[in-house]
Amino acid sequence: MGLQRLQKVIAEAGIASRRKAEKLIQEGRVTVDGEIVTKLGTKVDTFSNITVNGEPIERESLHTYLFYKPRGVVSTVSDDKGRKTVVDYFQDLPYRLYPVGRLDYDTSGLLLMTNDGELANLLMHPRNKVAKVYVAKIEGQLQPEEIKRLSRGIEIEHHKTAPAKVKVIRSDQKKKMQIVQLTIYEGHYHQVKRMFKAVGHPVKKLARERYSFLTLGNLVSGKYRELSHAEVDRLKHVD
C-alpha cells in the first residue's frame, strides 16, 4: 500500500488537527513501531503501529469497490434534490466510501468507490492519464473526418481535449444511429457528450465499460465487488 505522512494519518484518525499533530510529533509524543519519531514528513504505511501519548491510534482500513452504476443515480455523497446517490448502495458497509470522479446522472457503467484518498487523488490527477472507455449510442453516422477530429483532440468551450481513440462498433443507417467506442484519458465535465456534440452527433445513451485495466465483468447494474490488494496496487502503478 502507499505511504502517507505521519501527521496526515494522525489527523485522519481524528486524534488532532494536522497542525496539532505536527506539534505532537515535534514534542516526541508519537511513536511508530515502538520508536519515537520527531521528524516532520515521516511517512508510514498501512501496517505501521502508531501511538500518540502512549495510546495506539485506530486507523480505518482502506477499501476500494468496483461498482456498476445504474442510470438515474447521482455520483455524489448526497443530493439536494433527493435523488438516489451512489453512496446509497453501500449503506450496509461499516466505512464511508466516496466516488472516484463521477458519471453523469443518465450515464451507467463502471465507477470506483473508495475511502483511500491517496488512490482517488492519484487516479483523478490529469498527469496520470488513466484510460476510460465509453460506449455511446449517437445520432447519425460519424464521417472519416469527424473520427479524425475526435482522435486528434477537439475544441470544446475553450479547451482542447487530449487525443482519443475512436472505434465504430455498429451502424444502423435505417435508424440513423451508431454505436461508438470512445477511449479518453481525461475527465472533464460531460466530456464524452460534448465531444460528440461538437462534431454534430448528440449522444442518446452512454455507458462506461472500462476504467484503466478494470472491466465490469459479470457484474449487473447496481451491484459491486471489492478490488483485491493486487488490483489496488496495480492501479497505484498504472501507466
Active site residue ranges: 104
**Angle (nearest 5°) at CA 185 between 63 and 222:** 45
Q: Grid coordinates representing 188?
A: 472533464
Which residues, 6 or more positions from 199, have their beta carbon under 8 angstroms from its beta carbon? Answer: 142, 146, 149, 150, 154
CB 69 within 8 A of CB 101: no
How far from the centroid of its chain's Cα atoms is residue 205's Cα?
Answer: 21
CB 227 within 8 A of CB 117: no
Residue 39 zone, left/alpha/beta (φ > 0; ψ -120 to 50; rest): beta
CA dihedral sign, ordered 208, 209, 213, 219: positive
Length of the chain: 239
What is the Cα Rg of the chain in Å? 22
